[in-house]
Amino acid sequence: MATGTALRCRECGREYPVAPIYTCEWCFGPLEATYDYDAIASTITRESIAAGPASIWRYGPLLPVEAPAGGALAAGWTPLIRAERLAAELGLGELWLKDDTRNPTNSFKDRVVAVALGKALEFGFKTAACASTGNLANAVAAAAARTGLASFVFVPSDLEAGKILTTSVYGGNVVAIDGNYDDVNRLCAELAAEYPWAFVNVNVRPFYAEGSKTLAYETAEQLDWQVPDHVVVPIASGSLLTKIHKGFDELHKVGLLADPPDVRVSGAQATGCSPVATAFTAGVDDVHPVRPDTIAKSLAIGNPADGYYALDVIRKSGGACGAVTDAEIVDGIRLLARTEGIFGETAAGVTIATLAKLAAEGVVRRDERVVAYVTGHGLKTLDAIEPHVRVTATIPPSLDAFRAAFPTLIEEN
Ligand SMILES: [Zn+2]
């Protein structure tokens, strides 16, 4: 039973019936799905969740759409991994990684798309569409193919070749726009007014964004129904960070956590696109748009829709927002791979490098239980890492050649 009951303006609080709309007619504030938490609390239990599917749909009552029939649109229930080697390198105590590379198209976007396309089907749409920096493109194209929807995916034309290939393969329409993500997003808002399509991050955004809450639900459940002290989350639009915070809160509202959660939420950005980190450091409320220039293209949103709300969550929770250079992003990717055997994309490099920086500054503390969110797989951004890795040696197929290449190995043994 899905209990998303209405949409409510995050600015003025006016309510609207559930429909494919996303801005308030009165104040142009963003709309958000609301729930009857008392009703949910009377039915949901830790046991009912444990008996559910190994996907985001185990938290069905806390999502704004019924689970689609037939097992389609599965995403989530990814591993939460204790990262002892990485913790030791960073001087941290209890560190966990939420490995969302393990989703159907290898990023957390499969969660939000599962909810968005479920809602699109419920509304009767025949076509799914999106503006994307890449990961969303993969997820929409794949989920549309699986559910029999047509798809139109709009991306900046300078996107990594790998992300275009891994979108086009699903057979939908992929349209490259000569412009950056903010240009693509603006165009999609205009298209959404003209074409009867479910734009997952435009007219279906209030539902779509709710899918990210499942990252908080899973984290708490996998920690045996406890919350972390501190989470580190990458920021693109800022939606993911605000929804993880909301997700922990909701678990208390429906009685799954006894105490109100007190989770510090920290954000991670690339210095080449760091409007939220810049506002945080300057101590101001306004998030000024920037022109992105970073290898972390999946985070390259210069005018983040939820930047203001993300900044608010970071400040109120006692977190911080850091930014790291392209070189530090590459180091972050390699550090994660070298210590934990997880190959993350550039956004993961941003998260790990920012975690390292915040740990060095004493913002993320050794006495905290920390969770860092690894949101996408490294095979999506090979271009970023390719110049920095090579084979250890190239030799003829002979024992002598190997001995010559590694003369000290036998002595070491
Ligand atoms: Zn309003």
Which string of b and e fits 104-136 if b means at least 16 CB within 10 Å? Answer: bbbbbbbbbbbbbbbbbbbbebebbbbbbbbbb
pLDDT tens column, 60-97: 999 999 888 766 678 999 999 999 999 999 999 999 99
Is 0.85 surpassed by the pTM of this model?
yes
Amino acid at 70: G
Burial of 345 (0-12, 13-18, 19+ CB in 10 A): buried
- Whether the Cβ atoms of residue 26 and residue 12 lie closer than 8 Å to each other: yes
Cα gap 84→98, rounded to integer Å: 14
Asked if pLDDT for residue 1 goes beyond 50, the answer is no
CA of 251 to the centre of ligand 1 (A): 26
CA of 137 to the centre of ligand 1 (A): 30
CA of 204 to the centre of ligand 1 (A): 17
DSSP state of 55: S
CA of 22 to the centre of ligand 1 (A): 11
pLDDT tens column, 16-37: 999 999 999 999 999 999 999 9
- Whether the Cβ atoms of residue 388 and residue 356 lie closer than 8 Å to each other: no
Amino acid at 67: A
Cα gap 202→205, rounded to integer Å: 5
What pLDDT score was predicted for residue 4? 72
Q: What is the mean pLDDT of the chain?
A: 95
